[in-house]
Structure 1
Amino acid sequence: MTESATSARQLPRGRHGLPREQVVASQRERILIAMADAMVENGYVGTSVAAILKRAGVSRETFYEQFRSKEACFEAAYERAVQNLLGRIADASSDAARHAEGSELDSMARMDRIFQAYLQHLVDDPASARLFLVEVYAVGSAAISRRAQLQELFVGLIADVLGAKSDEQRFACQTLAAAISAMVTGRIAADDLEGLLALRAPLLNLVRRGGELYGDALTDPA
């Protein structure tokens, strides 16, 4: 599970002699974690800067030195959450690719690892997951546009693994990604972490049954 904002990289009290850059980075990390944690209880609209400050253990002056507004803080917290998620998925995909040789079985093995990494990450950090899956809709059009960009990155990864070459196959991958997004968003909103992990097997089975609908990597050579 994710660590709390007050315990994340907490600096020692008193004169610690740490470089200014390290102090600022620690404060920023705590603020971003605090933003996600606070929204679990009150949502974006109901989360005040004061609530973030209390969780992060920083002053109002420190907050505004780094962020011009609550929305700017959300944008930074969103980017942090997205980069953490993409990093975990990329690691899983790269690890699977090292063992892949282009067969249908290998493509399915890669998809399985991607699904596992994606769903497990949401379970491990549900506060950040709620931030970019649920609360993003309360922030505004720019944030929603950024979410759409994230989903297209996921589409690209799926299309690459499954060998989607035609427009029809690409559209099928977009449809799959949209369905996954809708299902995980609903489960995060309902705090159904067990239900998140339960999606892995049926999603993998859906891709397997879809075959070349999603890409040439799943074409039956027979």
Structure 2
Amino acid sequence: MTDSAVTARQLPRGRHGLPRETVVAAQRDRILLAMAEAMTENGYVGTPVAAVIKRAGVSRETFYEQFRSKEDCFEAAYERAAELMLTGILAATGEEFEDETHAHRIERLLTAYLDALSAEPAYARLFLVEVYAVGTEAIARRSQLQETFVAMVADILGADTDEQFFACQMLVAALSSMVTARIAVGDLDGLRALREPLLALIRRSGELFGLPFGD
């Protein structure tokens, strides 16, 4: 569970003297997490606003003060899921990251990605699975974020040619498909187990993706 979600659920009941912006932010966190968790049980189509409201512990009025519709709430939850994933990746790729070998850099990147997904399974399912039930705009956003990840992988592996960049796109597409399948059935152990065979594949691939993996 995220720190913001924990904070949201720990707000005292009744008169507490907290600033309104703190209360509103906490309510928003609860609603977004409730949306993700409710869809884990019933999917996007089978999750009415009433189920989100009940799980979040807020009123219908509070929900509609922050979101125009269920789709609007989903979009906000999707951005939260993307934020959590990117935060985890960026935390693992600090200043010293650039000084490491390509082998260590790709290992840290893939580990951070898999860790971010397994740490937030409800948001991961929203991000990878339920997005396809929402519509073309949500799918386009997912594709945009996937291309951002492709660019990170290509940069780490030194993909200089069109062929090498395409190989990185194929690598990320295959990874996306495999993690989506495991998140869809709640197989977090299987998700984490992808790390070693993926790294082994990259090691065996030589210059297919760019620079030799041992550089």
Taking structure 1 as the reference length, the TM-score comes to 0.91
Match of 1:194 among 161, 175, 189: 189
Aligned-pair distance for 1:4?
10
1:49 aligned partner: 49
Q: Tell me which of 135, 142, 146 is aligned to 2:141.
A: 146
Structure 2 CA distance for aligned equivalents of residues 201 and 88 of structure 1: 19
Q: Structure 2: how far apart are the matches of 1:209 and 1:59?
A: 55
Distance in 1 between the 2:96 and 2:77 partners?
29
- CA distance in 2 between counterparts of 1:115 and 1:148 reads 18
The 1:17/1:4 distance shift into structure 2, 3 A limit, reads closer
Are the aligned partners of 2:114 and 2:191 in contact in 1 as well (CA < 8 Å)? yes
- In the TM superposition, residue 94 of structure 1 has moved relative to its aligned partner by 2.3
Cα distance per residue 1:159-217 (max 9 Å; x no partner): 1111111111110100000000000000111111110011000100111111211112x
CA distance in 2, matches of 1:213, 1:6: 44
Whole-angstrom distance in 1 between the partners of 2:56 and 2:213? 51
C-alpha distance in 2 between matches for 1:135 and 1:49: 16
**How large is the RMSD of aligned CA atoms in angstroms?**
1.9
1:67 aligns to what? 67
Q: Which runs of 5+ in 1 are unaligned?
A: 101-105
Contact preservation (8 Å) 2:88, 2:112: yes
Percent identical residues: 65
Counterpart CA distance in 1 for 2:84 and 2:2 is 12
Q: State whether structure 2 residue 112 is matched by structure 1 residue 117.
A: yes
For residues 38 and 3 of structure 2, the distance between their equivalents in structure 1, rounded to whole angstroms, comes to 13
Q: What SS is found at the alignment partner of 2:43?
A: helix
Structure-1 separation of matches of 2:77 and 2:64: 15
2-structure distance, mates of 1:162, 1:36? 34
Pick aligned residue for 2:127 from 122, 128, 132: 132
Quickly say closer, same or farther: Cα 1:220–1:59, change in 2 above 3 A: closer
* Superposed displacement of residue 124, structure 1: 1.2
1:163 aligns with 158
Give secondary structure in 1 for the equivalent of 2:94: helix
**Partner in structure 1 of residue 174 of structure 2:** 179
Post-superposition CA distance 1:130-170 (Å, at most 9, x none): 00100000000000000001100110110111111111111
Deviations 1:12-52 (A, max 9, x none): 11111111111110000000000000001000000010100
Runs of 5+ consecutive residues of structure 2 not aligned to the other structure: none
Structure 1 position 99, deviation (Å): 4.4
- Taking the aligned partners of 2:55 and 2:98, their CA distance within structure 1 comes to 42
Q: Tell me how far apart the structure 2 counterparts of residues 90 and 206 of structure 1 sit (CA, whole Å).
A: 24
- Shift of the 195–94 alpha-carbon distance from structure 1 to 2, 3 Å rule, reads same
Whichever residue aligns with residue 60 of structure 2, its letter is R
Give the secondary structure class of the aligned counterpart of 1:46: coil
**What does residue range 207-218 of structure 1 map to in structure 2 within 5 Å?**
207-216=202-211, 218=212
Displacement after TM superposition at 1:10 (Å): 3.0
Return the letter of the residue paired with 2:162: D
For the residue of structure 2 that corresponds to 1:15, the secondary structure is coil
**In structure 2, how many angstroms separate the alpha carbons of the residues matched to 1:61 and 1:213?**
55
- The residue type equivalent to 1:43 in the other structure is G
State the aligned residue count. 215
